[in-house]
Chains A and B, each alone.
Chain A
Amino acid sequence: MRKFLQEFGRYSMLMGRVFARPENRKMVWKQVPVEMVKLGTDSIILVAIISIFMGVIMTMQVVLNTENPLLPRYTTGLMLRDTYLLEFSSTIMCLLLAGKVGSNIASELGSMRVSEQIDALEIMGINSANYLIFPKIMGLVLFMPVLVTLCTGLGLLGGMGVAKFTSLITVDNFVYGLQYAFIPFYFTYSVIKSIFFGFVIASISSFYGYYANGGAIAVGQASTNAVVKSSIMMLLMDIVLTDIMLT
């Protein structure tokens, strides 16, 4: 408990420095699109592949495992839509991204710490936390809704592919299910969650990378800690956000 409080204190102080006034606002904001590309657009292929395949697999599983005459045929589309909107595109996809993006951030900052690049920034009189971490947080927070929307769209497209190219379910039934009892707020909920998760991934991973101390082993440990801790925090935050927004 004491260790947790100590870490939380250090994390809070780091965030204080991250959101402090920068020495040169233009230079810091110039890094935001760079980070968006590095952390966001470079993840599009991974997100696309996982979303489409999971859409296909989930559709097949639902059709094959719900052969109950009491369940209407359109259940498959409806279940896929709500699963993607409520949990898959935000929580599960962000957990996967925590692995890719989180380890990337932690290892980059850890390497910079080990090779004294962060010290070099401090010596120049630059708030290194602000210059290095703020663009990563902003880049991911701003791009996460795009990834989540893409994930939902491609997942549903995968399901549609099953309806179109197999005889498991008809396109009409699937599309009817997608449209049935649609609650637009679910989309907003998904986007809001992704913004919080983007912040959690970027800030926690940055924290472990920024304070990596030692050599290559420390960078590896920082990477592992970044992925594990940000995943746990995201799951806890998921419960809180769901409780606040859906109950």
Chain B
Amino acid sequence: MIEVLDINKSFEGKKILHDISANFYDGKVNQIIGPSGSGKTVLMKCVIGLHIAEDGQILYDGRDILNMRKDEIKKLRREVGMLFQGSALFDSLTVIENVLFPLEMFSSMTKIEKEKRAIFCLERVNLLEDKHKLYPSEISGGMQKRVAIARAIALNPKYLFCDEPNSGLDPVTSLVIDKLIKEITQEYDITTIVNTHDMNSIMETGDHIILIRDGHKTWEGSKDDIFKSDNESLQDFVFASQLFKTIKTVHNNN
């Protein structure tokens, strides 16, 4: 479990995050949602430690990342996997080499064991063997996301971060990725934090959701609470489109 307690973050005097507190639970897909520019990515980067929060606490199962030494942070990061918005696969490495990379760097397995583990991870994300020797530029965006998930889970992480995992994907492929993230989260009991503004993704996988607006946490709940809530900020964000207004009407009538 990751606990965020009263963190603030500013850039060049401009305050981006205001006293954010939130809990992210094990075995659940925890989502940070909100409109573009609301501070979702900054919050996620603060939680990971890529940005340093100015105050407060960020506790990884009780360990405060803001008070850790550099070597402790490095050690903690080996328990973290991350899926980036643009996949962030290494261009110069093939698909399988990308998944092997964290294993080569940190694992004490033998060469054969590492290869077995990489193949297992790629199979887990349903990537066929004929794609393993291709370079990231030779596969589709959806496949790149799946390779990035395989790389993220290669070292059996305790915490998985996904920054807009559906960005640039068609609705069908987005669902595949969402499903995969949810399955992996439950299967390995990972604390997963997903940063998204994709409504399909929110309704599909949002076990625990926090809404960020202008750097403030304005709502917290699950996907089932969305229809029950009368939070103005949530209503403005979730039911902005005609489609979701209709869905809400139908849902309320039922």
Contact = CB atoms under 8 A, between A and B. Distances in A.
Interface string A108-140: 000100011101101111110000000000000
A240 interface: no
A23 B106 CA distance: 8
B78 A125 contact: yes
Contact of A24 (B73, B77, B106): B106
B88 A24 contact: no
A27 B104 contact: yes
B84 A126 contact: no
Contacts of B56: none
B105 A116 contact: no
A123 B104 contact: no
A120 B78 contact: no
Given A23-B106, A24-B106, A27-B105, A123 B85 contact: no
Contact of A125 (B50, B75, B91, B101): B75
Contacts of B90: 117, 120
Please classify how large the interface on chain B is, using the bins under 10, 10 to 19, 20 to 34, 35 or more. Answer: 20 to 34
Given A24-B104, A126-B105, A119 B84 contact: yes
Nearest to B155: A124
Interface of B: 48, 50, 73-78, 80-82, 84-86, 88-91, 101-102, 104-106, 161
Contacts of B86: 115-116
B85 A116 contact: yes
A115 B88 contact: yes
Contacts, number: 53
B165 to A, nearest CB: 13
Contacts of B76: 125
A122 B74 CA distance: 8
A117 B105 contact: no
B105 A120 contact: no
A125 B106 contact: yes
A123 B77 contact: yes
A186 to B, nearest CB: 39
A117 B144 CA distance: 13
Given A119-B50, A123-B50, A125-B75, 18 more contacts: A23-B105, A23-B106, A24-B104, A24-B106, A111-B91, A116-B88, A117-B88, A119-B84, A120-B84, A123-B48, A123-B77, A124-B78, A124-B106, A125-B73, A125-B76, A125-B77, A125-B106, A126-B105
B102 A124 contact: yes
B129 to A, nearest CB: 24
A154 to B, nearest CB: 31
Interface in A1-57: 23-24, 27
15 contacts: A23-B105, A24-B105, A27-B104, A111-B91, A117-B89, A117-B91, A119-B88, A120-B88, A123-B50, A123-B77, A123-B80, A124-B102, A125-B73, A125-B74, A126-B105
A119 B85 CA distance: 12
B108 to A, nearest CB: 11
Contacts of A127: 74
Interface in A57-108: none
B253 to A, nearest CB: 44
Nearest to A20: B70
The residue in A24, A111, A119, A120 that gathers the most chain B C-beta atoms within 10 A of its C-beta is: A120
B64 to A, nearest CB: 17
Contacts of A123: 48, 50, 77, 80-82, 161
A111 B137 CA distance: 14
Contacts of B73: 125
A125 B154 CA distance: 14
A116 B104 contact: no
Which 7 pairs between the two chains have the least Cβ-Cβ distance? A125-B77, A116-B88, A120-B88, A125-B74, A123-B82, A116-B84, A125-B78
Contacts of A119: 50, 82, 84, 88
B160 to A, nearest CB: 11
A116 B161 CA distance: 14
A111 B92 CA distance: 12
A127 to B, nearest CB: 8
B127 to A, nearest CB: 18
Nearest to B78: A125
A122 B106 contact: no
The residue in B50, B80, B82, B105 that gathers the most chain A C-beta atoms within 10 A of its C-beta is: B105
A13 B52 CA distance: 18
Given A23-B105, A24-B105, A122 B50 contact: yes
Contacts of A124: 77-78, 101-102, 105-106
